[in-house]
Amino acid sequence: MRLNICFVRPVSHWFLVFLVGVVGGTSVGNQSAKAQSRTNGPEVALAVSSPADEVPADTSAPQAVLPDAPAPAFEPAAAPLAGSSSLQPAISAPNLSPDSWSIDVAPNSSESVPLNQCPYDKTGARECRVHWRQLLLSSAAFNALLNAGNLYSGYYYRHETTHGKWFQRWFDSDLGWDWNHWTDGNPAMDQYVGHPMMGSITNYLWIQNDPKGATVQIGEPGYWKSRMRAVAFTTAFHFEWKFGPFGEAGVGHIGDHATHYVGRQKRNDTRIVELVTTLVGGLLWIMAQDALD
């Protein structure tokens, strides 16, 4: 009995140990399984697929074709309201298609006329009109240059300008103009070269500010009309220079006092030659230059 009990006790002891190990291992395995299921739960759920998903897709099936979007319809621009400005741009959409999306903006103003087309312009385009502002400014500058030259180079010219009653002396200078003689006693270079050069300068002041005559040459339509208008401007400029308040009658008072003797007669610096050679000689000068061009 004592041996049996000793045998039974070790067997029962090891049996208990085995039973505890089995039960403990099972519980530990269950806990690890539960932890793994909690950790990898979503991945397992994603990996699970239904039998319907296992059916392979049919690549030969026709694909769905979406219809093209309809082209936008643009309505024509409405007529401008009464009182609206004509300078507002008109928006037009020519030849619109689904592949081209662009809108052209075109102003209502007409295109500029090129300078070489101004002699043939019949529409009265603004760019083909006489540039009066530039013409007056350049003429005033040339007139001031002539006065400055006379004042700088002549002591008596400065003296006559600054002495006496200016308005009365200017009036007397116009009345004292000598219309009875051709030459004024100045050198021939002054009368027949200097004055024609002056006339050609004023002619070109007009021509360069007149788009209708700036580009025409001899033999072309509008040439003589342009040059005669230039001579008319030179006539007005030169008469102001001889008789006006800003010329030799008002600055220098040439005409109201004698400046030299011819024989035994007192003469002033006013004669007909200045008027003729400036106008006629100036026209011949620009014609010669046009012929050379």
Does residue 241 form part of some domain? yes
Cβ burial, residue 93 (10 Å; 0-12/13-18/19+): middle
pLDDT band for position 107 (50/70/90)? Answer: very low
The three-point CA angle 230-289-220 to 5° equals: 65
Q: In this predicted structure, which of 7-21, 221-235, 254-268, 271-285 has the lowest mean pLDDT?
A: 7-21
d(CA 86, CA 185): 63
| pTM recorded for the entire structure | 0.60
Strand-pairing partners, residue 105, are 91
pLDDT band for position 43 (50/70/90)? Answer: very low
pLDDT at 91 exceeding the cut of 70: no
Q: Which of 254, 253, 193, 205 is nearest to 231 (CA)?
A: 205
Domain, as residue range, for 242: 131-292
The overall average pLDDT reported for the chain is 74
Instruction: Encode pLDDT of 193-241 as tens digits.
Output: 999 999 999 999 999 999 999 999 998 888 999 999 999 999 999 999 9
pLDDT band for position 64 (50/70/90)? Answer: low
d(CA 288, CA 197): 12
pLDDT at 56: 52
**Stated length of the chain:** 293
Spell out the residues 6+ positions from residue 291 whose beta carbon is closer than 8 angstroms to its own.
218
Does residue 109 form part of some domain? no
Per cent of the chain over pLDDT 70 is 62
d(CA 177, CA 256): 8
Q: Which of 285, 60, 265, 61 is nearest to 183 (CA)?
A: 265
pLDDT at 76: 54
**Which element (helix H / strand E) includes 241?**
helix 223-243
Does residue 88 form part of some domain? no
**How many helices and strands (H and E) does the chain possess?**
10, 4
Indicate the number of domains in the chain.
1
pLDDT at 62: 55
Does residue 140 form part of some domain? yes
Does residue 120 form part of some domain? no
Does residue 61 form part of some domain? no
* Alpha-carbon separation of residue 185 from 163, 173, 194, 290 (angstroms): 25, 18, 14, 32
Does residue 212 form part of some domain? yes
Does residue 201 form part of some domain? yes
* DSSP-based three-state secondary structure for 185: coil
Q: How many CB atoms lie within 10 A of CB 242?
A: 19
